[in-house]
Structure formats: structure tokens, C-alpha cells
Amino acid sequence: MAVVASREQALAVAAVPRVVPSHNGGGGHHDEPQRPAMNQLGLWLFFVSESFLFASLLVARFYLAGTSRGHVDQMLGLGITAVLLVSSLTAYLSEVSIAQGNRGAFLFYLLLTIVLGVAFAGGVAFEWSTAEFSRSEPYGTAFFTMTGLHASHVISGVAMLGLVYYLGLRGHFSAKDHWGVEAVVKYWHFVDVVWVFFYPALYLIGA
Amino acid sequence: MSETAVVQQPQGAMPAILPVVRGIIGAALGFALGAGATSLIRIATGHDAWDLELNFVLGYTLAAPGWLLGVGVWQFWGREWLGWKPQEPLLHGWQRYFTFCTDHKVIGVQYLVTFVVLFLLAGAFAMLIRLQLLSPENPVLADGTYNRVMSLHGIIMIAVAVASVVGGFGNYFVPLMIGARDVAFPRLNALTFWLIPPVAVLLLGAQAVGGWDSGWTAYPPLSVRNASGQIFFNMAIITFGLSSILSGLNFLTTVTYLRAPGMSWGKLPVFVWSVICASIIALTFTQFFAAAMLMVTLDRIAGFSFFSASDGGKPILYQHIFWFYSHPAVYIFALPGFGITLEIIAHFSRKPLFAYRWAVGGMLGIVAISGLVWAHHMFVSGMSPWMHGMFLVSTEIISIPTGLVFLSALGTIWMAKIWIRTPMLFALSVVFNFMIGGLTGIFLADVPTDVNLSDTYFVVAHFHYTIVGAEIFALFADIYYWFPKITGKMYDERLGQIHFWIMFIAFNMTFIPMFYPGLHGMNRRIATYTPDLQGINIFISSMAFILGASFLIFIWNMCYSLLRGPVAAADPWRARTLEWRVSSPPPVENFPALPVIHGNPYDYGVPNAPAYAIIAIAGASGEDDPAEGGN
């Protein structure tokens, strides 16, 4: 086998400037046909991974405290849950609006989502400040860790929604190209779904 | 963009050190911000300004993103978040190895060099441990120091086991082997590597604040009460876990969507399958280790009571969560080791891989069962007895899919005309070592024997057989196998074989005798032992020193060959898989045109087998298939 020759040939081939429309540099983030599908899968795999984190806390809650529950403000719990569920709806409407090219509605619903997200985080903070149990007892440990980790996801979601809002104001995103909006909205739904599991585990089960 | 030539000019004479300096500045700013804000809040609420652990954790929480942004995330990625145009990463010149480079081959080398260095460092700690165990009278280290050294050895080696093969060779060769130009998320890939330096700095820096003495497993209550080095360890694990999770996500997406035309799942090289399997585990279970570290951290710095039994916490919770990750994690170590072993055995046996589908099914079966066996680490923990039988059975069951992988290796060797070269020697030794690791594992899976053997050197010997004997030997098989492809130079075969035989014999002479003190009750993680075991410990230590010395030959061989070695052929092993169809080292973006896959990767000596791949542009060596005897 003409080893050296083939090496030089291959190097020569590599050195010839090429026109490869679907690939660029090593950045790999320009115009590949698989890009939308890869982004989707990547995002969903991230959710799968995060689910394991939240599941570990859900399991820990029952392992530590069984079904016993400290005193929580039921109306507040119901209220912030409703706020978060509605915020998923507004996030969805925001995404649909940009998909239809309606920038005004997109920004309006996005802002509404941010406001609802902040309201949810504020509700959690209020619950923390008025809690009648301490973090050094089993239920309190589970409660503060689960709501804390969830709220940190809500706050990071609000930050990303805020970034999308800023970009949207400056004319980014369109009916054809709004992956950034879609990704953040999906993340928002995911955080919402986590709460759908956490809420009954912390507020409803047991006595 | 895309119509311009791919070959870019290096962007001026950028000093290679600059990105790292920027990263350090970013980390310092982040730390100052986080720790400073914490101090202000503490002063405002009437506490002392400085609480080492609390300030450190909140400082680090901002220091890590600061490091990443400084080292290149901002320049090449983050600008995009504000709608600005990111810069294009440097793709040529030696400087790119010190920058936020998105080329998967550069990232592979970055991982590999980093982890080989860490491997040698942690190996040096093992030498220190064996020096101590020459005598039961603590000749070298004080008890506490011994435990810190042992802990540091443990966790660095675990990190090496997690990331050296997958991070190093996975990054370098998975895109090449599936016929892709890069991974699905190249910038995310670079980010996973640049998360590693903080991990190393934290683990070594922990020694400045007393280190930690709770081993790599960090069980509470000790890990809630020991020196502040523990908190550095916790942050290191959470950071490393993030890196591991994101790279798993990247591999899964890459293999799903970037396989070359014609590369069906059934034609994937078995190494790629093993990386898929390891990635599934890394993506999911790793979160549990992070969760466990979060809990320990909250107990330490914020007065939570996950593990404080006096406040109603449950220390065993930690063990469940920890092992729910850490048992599957051993398959993150082992599966890529199995993958590369099968790969090399097929190429050097010059035969089709025996029972390819069963081997792949076996690896997927291991993944499926890996999450159901964790509590066999806890038979003496005091957990509910009804779990014992369940976990005994599930642990025994996982040996069935493992056996399929094993049979595939044996069936490939069977009646083969084996071509003995250093990579093949290492690959064959994996089969031998793992057999011993597997057989001794039975005694640890069975409750009646495990109750007696738990926490003894029997366990130490067993897991060194599985992790070192299988994965680290496979890592070295890998290094020798792909050295010519990565460097374009050939290593010295004679020195390679000398290294193999010394390492193989010294390894077995170290760890076979180690079962004996284990059976006689010598406890692991303790700096001393009963005097009657000194003879065998002196023998073990002597062999361990020879094992350690064998790596000097390896280092010499690698360094000398890199600088002075003969130029390597594009395909020195006459192997069929895609990485050998391009030059050594491969060009940026790997292939002149995407290869089209026609045959199977291991059809050596199969009459009328089609060429594995055809690369369209003339001059690439795609058509001359070595298996068809055209050479």
C-alpha cells in the first residue's frame, strides 16, 4: 500500500478550498439540514436528564418524611400553582404568535409570562418567609430543597424569557426562524410540569 | 460564510495563554461578586462577614460561569445571546489546544492529555498509599493525611475512568467513525472540556483547607462534619457531573442525526455503540450524584437535615442516591472499554466481529439493568432486609448481558489468525482481567459472602480488576491503537510490548495477592493493618511500584515517538472503519466529501463483501479496501 502517497493525497484534498454549503468551520451551527431536529433532540434529552434530578428530590421527600406534611398555606399553594399553569398558556400563545408572524402578540404574551413567572417566584418567597416549619426537620428539608431548586429553575427561565423579550424587541425572530423562542418556551413548560408533580407531593399528600 | 474556503487563517498572533488568563480573570470576578454579595448579606443580617464554606459555595457558583465566559464561551457563543455576532473559533495552529476550540479532534486531545496527566498524578498518590502500607506502623503519612491521599487517589481515578475514554477517544473518533464532520453541538462540546480545569483545581485546592477524608464516596455523617475540603469536593463533583451530562447529550444527538449516508444502526462500529450506551447512563443517572452533593452541601452550609439522624434525617438516603448513580457509573467506565476491546479484537483477529448484534444487545441490556442493582453496595448498611434478595438477583442477572459481550470477544478470537501488536495485547488482557473481576464480583453480589467481605481489600482488589483491568487497560489499548491516527507518527512497537508485559504482569501480581488480606479482614481506607499481613503487603507494594514504573516506559515511548517517531501510514492496521480512510492526522472537518456506507465494518475475509465506505472525491483512500486483498 502506497502509504506516504495516500497520506499526501489526502492532505492535498483536505487543503483544497471546498464549497460545502451545509457545513462550515468547526462551529457547525450554520444551515445544516439536521440542525432543527438535532436542537429538538438535544433539548428533550436535557429534559430527560433534569427529570432525574427532580425525581431524586421527589423520592427523597417521601424517604425522609413519609407522607407527613408541615403546615402550608393551601390558598397560597393553589394560587401560585394556578399562576404557573396560566403562565404556560401565555408562553404557548407567545410562541404561536411569533410562528404566525405577529410580533405584537408575541411580545405581549411573553411579557405576561415573565410577570406571571415573577409572581410565582414571589409567592414561593412569601411561603418561605411565613413557613411554620424549619429546614432542620425532615419535611422542611424536603420542602425548602424542592421549592428552592424548582424556583431557581423558574428564575433562570424568567431570565431567559427576558433575554428573548429583549431580542424580540430588537427585531430578532420571525415566523420561520424562532428556535430561541421555542426552546425557552419548552423549558418553561418543562419547569411547569415539574411543579405539577411537586405541588401534590408538598401541599396535598398526607396531613 | 459557507462559500468561503474552509481553511481559515489563524487570527493574528494570539498568545496561546490569553484565553486561560481571561478565564481566570472571569473566575476571580465571579468569585468576588458571589462571595462579596454573601458577605454583605451576612453583615446586614448580623453575622460575621466571612463563613468559609458558605462564601465559597456562593462565590464558586458565579466563579464557574465566569471562568467559562472568560475562556471563550462569551467570545464564541454568548455574544449570540444578545444578538451580536460571535467570533469564529481558531481552527489551526498549536494554539487551538489552549483555546475554546470547537473541533472535536482538538477537544478529544484536550481531554486525553488532561486525563492521562491526571491518571499519572493519581497513580503517584497510589504509590504513596502503597508506601504507607509497607508497614502497619504508619511509616510515611499520619492517619488523617493517609485518608486524604486515599480520597484524592479515588476521586481523580474515578474522573479518569468516566472521561478519559469517552471524552478523549469518544470525542476524537465517534464523529470520524460515523462519517460526520463534527459533533451535533460543537460549542457545547468545547464547554464540557473547559468545565474540567475547575474540577482539577477544586480537588487539588481542597488540600489547602484540610482536604477531605471521606473517600470518593463521601458518605455522611462524616462528609457533613469533616474538614472544609469536603465542600470543594462537592462543587467539583457537581461541575464534573454537568460536563458528563452535557457530553452524553451531545453524543446521543450526534449519533442519531449525523451518521453518514448508508450508516444504518446495524453498521455502526461497536465502539460507537458502547459510547451511546455510556452516554445514556451519563445523561440520566449523573444527576443523582449531583443531587447527593447538593444535599450534603445544604446540610453543611445551611443547616438542612437530610442526613442528620438526630434531626430526623436518614444517612442511608445518601447511599441510595449515591449508588443509584455510582453503580451505573461503573458501566460508563466499562462499556467503552468493552467497545474498544471488541473493536481491536475484530481488527487484529482479521475476522468479522462474532455475534455483533448480540454484543450490542448485551451492552444495551447492561444499560437497561444498570439502574436496578445499586443496593448491592449496601448489604451491610442497615437497609431493609427485604431488599437483599432482590438486589442479589438483579446483580446476578446483569452478568447475562455482560456475558454476551464477553462471548462476542471470545467468538471473535476463536480460530483467528491473531495479529499480535501492542493494542491487541492490551485488548486481550482486558478479556483476561475482566474475567477475574467478574468472577470475584459474584462473592460481592451474594449477600452471605458480601457481609464478610464488605469494606475489605477483597473489594479493593475486585474493583481494581474491573476498572483498571478492563477500562484502563482498554484506555491503553486505545492509546496505542489510535496514536498513529492522532499524531501522524508511529510509536515504538518494541517499547509498547515491553510496557504491556511489565504492566500486565505487575498489575496481576499486585491485585491477585490483594484478595488474600481482604479474606483475612484487612480493612480498606485504613492506614494500618494487623502485623501478620505485613509480608503480603510488602509483596503487593513492591509489585505496585513496578506497575507504577511501567508508565515511565509509556511516557518515554509517547514523547519520543511524537517528536522522533517514523511518519505513520493513513491506515497502519489495515482496518476497515472510517477513521482509517482519512490521513493521519485527519484534516479539519475530517472528510473531503461525506462517505457513503455500503458494507459492514468488520467483514474481514468475507467473500464478496462490499467495501465498507466509498468517499466520493478521487484521491481519498476510500475504495482500496484492505480486506479484499488488494494490497
Average pLDDT, chain A: 88
Q: Which residues of B touch A16 (CB under 8 A)?
A: 592
* B147 shares a domain with B27: no
pLDDT band at A7; cut points 50, 70, 90: very low
Partners of A34 on chain B (C-beta within 8 Å) are 184, 257-258
Identify the closest residue of chain A to B303 by CA–CA distance: A136
| Residue type (1 letter), B462 | H
Same domain, B53 and B156: no
> Angle of helix B399-413 relative to helix B386-397, nearest 10 degrees?
20
CATH number of the domain encompassing residue B306:
1.20.210.10
Sign of CA dihedral B296, B298, B304, B306: negative
Q: Identify which of A15, A22, A141 has the shortest CB distance to residue B7.
A: A15
The reply to whether B205 touches chain A by the CB within 8 Å rule is no
Considering only CB atoms, B592 lies closest to which of A13, A37, A49, namely A13
Distance set, CA B21 to CA B10, B26, B70 (Å): 19, 9, 8
Nearest to B181 among A12, A23, A167 (CB): A23
Task: Give yes or no for B46 touching A (CB within 8 A).
Answer: no
Report residue A74: phi and psi, to 5°. Answer: -65, -40
- Residue-level pLDDT at B15: 62
Q: Strand, coil or helix: what is A201?
A: helix
Under DSSP, the state recorded for B414 is T
pLDDT at A17 over 50: no
Same domain, B522 and B429: yes
Distance to chain A for B185, nearest Cα, Å: 7
Sign of CA dihedral A101, A102, A106, A109: negative
In terms of CA atoms, which chain A residue is nearest residue B282? A49
Q: Give which of B389, B575, B414, B407 is closest to B484, Cα–Cα.
A: B575
Q: Which phi and psi (to 5°) does residue A206 adopt?
A: 75, -170
**Dihedral (Cα; A157, A159, A162, A163), 10-degree rounding:** -100
Looking at residue A46, the DSSP 8-state letter turns out to be H
Q: Is the ipTM, as predicted for this complex, more than 0.90?
A: yes
Query: B139 pLDDT band (50/70/90 cuts)?
Result: confident
Element (H, E) at A11: helix A3-15
**Chain A CB contacts of B93 below 8 Å:** none
Q: Among B249, B286, B588, select the one facing A26 at the smallest CB separation.
A: B588
Residue A61: beta bridge partners? none
Size of interface A-B (CB pairs under 8 A): 206
The C-alpha cell that represents A148 in the structure block: 428552592
CB-based contact, B566 to chain A, within 8 Å: no
Q: What is the mean pLDDT of residues B484-513?
A: 97
Question: Average pLDDT of B422-438?
Answer: 96
Closest residue in chain A to residue B283, using alpha carbons only: A49
Closest CA to B175 of B310, B67, B269: B269
Among the three residues B545, B564, B583, which one is the final residue of a domain in this structure? B564
- When computed from its CA atoms, the radius of gyration of chain A, rounded to whole angstroms, is 23
State the DSSP H helix or E strand holding residue A36, giving kind and residue range, or none if neither. Answer: helix A35-65
Is B598 among the domain residues?
no
Asked if B570 has any chain A CB less than 8 Å from its own CB, the reply is yes
Asked if B184 is an interface residue toward chain A (Cβ–Cβ < 8 A), one would say yes
pLDDT in tens, B27-47: 999 999 999 999 999 999 998
Q: CB B626 to CB A136 under 8 A? A: no
Residue B619 has pLDDT above 90, yes or no: no
**Residue range B518-533: mean pLDDT, rounded:** 94
| Band of pLDDT at residue B9, cut at 50, 70 and 90 | very low
Coil vs helix vs strand at B613: strand
Task: For residue B154, give the 3-state DSSP assignment.
Answer: helix
Residues B169 and B55 in one domain: no
Select from B564, B587, B612 the last residue of a domain: B564
| Helical residues (DSSP H) of B210-314, grouped into ranges | 222-225, 229-257, 270-302
Does residue B537 sit within a domain? yes
B68 and B108 in a single domain? The answer is no
For residue B625, name the pLDDT band (cuts at 50, 70, 90). Answer: very low
Q: What is residue B142's DSSP assignment?
A: -
Q: Tell me: do B121 and B203 sit in the same domain.
A: yes
Alpha-carbon distance A3 to nearest alpha carbon in chain B (angstroms) = 5
Supply the range of the domain harboring residue B52.
20-82
Domain contains B600: no
Domains of chain A: 36-204 (1.20.120.80)
Q: Which of B184, B311, B488 sits opposite A42 (nearest CB)?
A: B184
The span from the CA of A148 to the CA of A154, in Å, is 10
Residue B631 sits at the chain A interface (C-beta within 8 Å): yes
Domain-located, residue B233: yes
Residue B193 lies in a domain: yes
B612 found inside a domain? no
Q: Which residues of A touch B258 (CB under 8 A)?
A: 34, 38
Q: Distance, in angstroms, between A51 CA and closest chain B CA? A: 8
A30 → closest Cβ in B1, B283, B320? B1
Residue B35 in domain: yes
Q: Greater confidence, B7 or B368? A: B368
**B78/B99 same-domain check:** no
Checking if the pLDDT of A201 tops 50, the result is yes
Domain count, chain B: 2
- Regarding whether B53 and B109 lie in a shared domain, the answer is no
Which of the listed residues B536, B564, B592 is the one where a domain comes to its end?
Answer: B564
pLDDT exceeds cutoff 70 at A22: no
Is the same domain home to B416 and B470? yes
User: Percent of chain A at pLDDT above 90?
Assistant: 83
Nearest CA in chain A to B617: A13
The three three-digit cell numbers of residue B510, written as one number: 499486585
Are residues B122 and B63 part of one domain?
Answer: no
Three-state secondary structure along A48-112?
Answer: HHHHHHHHHHHHHHHHHHCCCCCCCCHHHHHHHHHHHHHHHHHHHHHHHHHHCCCHHHHHHHHHH
Within this chain, do residues B64 and B114 fall inside the same structural domain, yes or no? Answer: no
Contact B78, B65 (CB under 8 A): no
pLDDT band (50, 70, 90) for residue B253: very high
Give the pLDDT confidence score for residue B142 in this predicted structure: 86
**Pick from B284, B567, B584: CB nearest A52:** B284
Tell whether the model's pLDDT for residue A115 goes beyond 60. yes
B587 touches chain A (CB under 8 A): yes
pLDDT of B615 reads 84
CA angle (A48 as vertex; A45, A50 as ends), nearest 5: 110
Cβ neighbours around B68 below 10 Å, total: 23
Residues B72 and B106 in one domain: no
